[in-house]
């Protein structure tokens, strides 16, 4: 975890410095090109940092610098050439077709409730109704008589984007009771509230659920929310994790992307609770 930086101010500072250094030493960097800069999704960043560490050990003299800031920033930085590679935790949109995308792993978004909740499954319509405030009591969704605490994500997060797109909702339609930032905050919030419902990355939540955190993942369209089902493509609420570049990758960038898609890094992908993409 040491290799990647927290988003926010430090990101702003480091990216500013990176821009200054890059523009100032442009020719020098172009000539030697021993540094790879990756920016973007905080979901991909820990994986990218691990990949970078192994890549560095295989290519002495190369430095891989990973910075977070969200998928949209990954797109933006790759497009402007601020970063060599952008990290994007969703499928590429139609207006982003100018970029080259390479899927390195898959991640599913799972609906989580407290482990003590008697509700075993919810339909797509029920979940949408809960999030839009049409169902406010677990009684109306097959559970106990208790008010539902709706946990939503903060605006700008790709998990929120994926969730909204799947349920065809707008963020202003949602009636949340708690708004959270990252996955861990979501898991802790639901674990501490017997009547909460939230949605987080399946990789992280499946691991926590198996290791004693009192949460459970609900199936989606009768498909269990598990890493296995994300891998075989049957789980509907899933997203690809992409590396994007402005032009067809060459040299060191190509080496890194090819490396990230080989079988020899599957252990790293799985260690982050993601699902490896198909082998090339």
Partner 1 sequence: MIWWKHNISFRPAFTDRWLCWLLRAGAITAALIMVLILLFLLLEYWPAFQKISPVRFFTDDAWYPLEDQYNLLPMVTGTLYASSGALLLAIPLGIASALFMAFYAPHFIAVVYRRLIELLAGIPSVVFGFWGLTTLLPIINQWEPPGASLLAAILILTLMILPTLALTSYVALTAVPKEYMQAATVLGLSRWGIIYGVVLPAARKGIVAGGLLAAGRAVGETMAVLMVAGNVVQHADSLLAPIRTLTANIALEMAYAMGDHRAVLFVSGLLLLFLVMALTSLAGLLGKEHHG
Contact footprint for partner 1 (CB under 8 A): 7-9, 11, 42, 68-70, 72-73, 76, 146-147, 149, 154-158, 170-172, 176-181, 185, 188-189, 192-193, 195-196
Smallest separation, CB 159 to partner 1 (Å): 10
Smallest separation, CB 203 to partner 1 (Å): 19
39 or 226, CB closer to partner 1? 39
Which stretches within 65-201 are classed as H helix?
A: 71-80, 124-131, 158-167, 183-191
- Alpha-carbon distance of 81 to 271, in angstroms, equals 30
- From the number of C-beta atoms within 10 Å of its C-beta (0-12, 13-18, 19+), residue 182 rates as middle
Interacting residues of 109 by C-beta distance below 8 A, sequence separation 6+ = 159, 162, 163, 166, 199, 200, 201, 202, 237, 238, 239
Interacting residues of 256 by C-beta distance below 8 A, sequence separation 6+ = 36, 51, 52, 55, 64, 85
Smallest separation, CB 65 to partner 1 (Å): 17
59 or 188, CB closer to partner 1? 188
142 or 156, CB closer to partner 1? 156
182 or 270, CB closer to partner 1? 182
Smallest separation, CB 90 to partner 1 (Å): 12
Smallest separation, CB 254 to partner 1 (Å): 28
Smallest separation, CB 98 to partner 1 (Å): 17
Tell me how far apart the terminal alpha carbons of the chain are, to the nearest angstrom.
27
35 or 177, CB closer to partner 1? 177
Q: In the structure encoding, which two tokens stand for residue 128, read together?
A: 């949408």
- Alpha-carbon distance of 69 to 62, in angstroms, equals 23
71 or 229, CB closer to partner 1? 71
């Amino acid at each position: 975890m040491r290799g990647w930086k927290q988003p926010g101010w430090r990101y702003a500072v480091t990216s500013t410095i990176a821009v200054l250094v890059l523009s100032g030493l442009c020719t020098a960097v172009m000539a030697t090109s021993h540094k790879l800069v990756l920016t973007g999704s905080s979901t991909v960043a820990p994986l990218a940092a691990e990949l970078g560490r192994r890549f560095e050990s295989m290519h002495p003299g190369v430095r891989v610098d990973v910075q977070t800031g969200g998928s949209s920033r990954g797109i933006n930085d790759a497009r402007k050439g601020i970063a060599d590679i952008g990290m994007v935790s969703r499928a590429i949109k139609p207006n982003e077709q100018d970029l080259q995308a390479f899927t390195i792993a898959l991640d599913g978004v799972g609906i989580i409730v407290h482990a003590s909740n008697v509700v075993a499954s919810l339909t797509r319509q029920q979940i949408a109704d809960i999030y839009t405030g049409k169902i406010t009591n677990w009684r109306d969704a097959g559970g106990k008589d208790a008010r539902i605490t709706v946990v939503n994500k903060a605006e700008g997060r790709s998990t929120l984007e994926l969730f909204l797109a799947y349920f065809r909702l707008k963020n202003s339609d949602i009636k949340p009771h708690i708004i959270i930032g990252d996955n861990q905050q979501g898991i802790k919030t639901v674990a501490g509230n017997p009547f909460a419902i939230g949605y987080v990355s399946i990789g992280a939540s499946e691991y926590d659920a198996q290791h004693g955190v009192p949460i459970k993942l609900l199936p989606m369209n009768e498909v269990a929310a598990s890493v296995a089902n994300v891998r075989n493509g049957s789980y509907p609420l899933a997203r690809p994790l992409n590396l994007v570049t402005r032009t067809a990758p060459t040299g060191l960038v190509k080496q890194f992307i090819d490396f990230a898609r080989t079988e020899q890094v599957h252990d790293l992908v799985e260690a982050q609770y993601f699902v490896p993409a198909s082998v090339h």
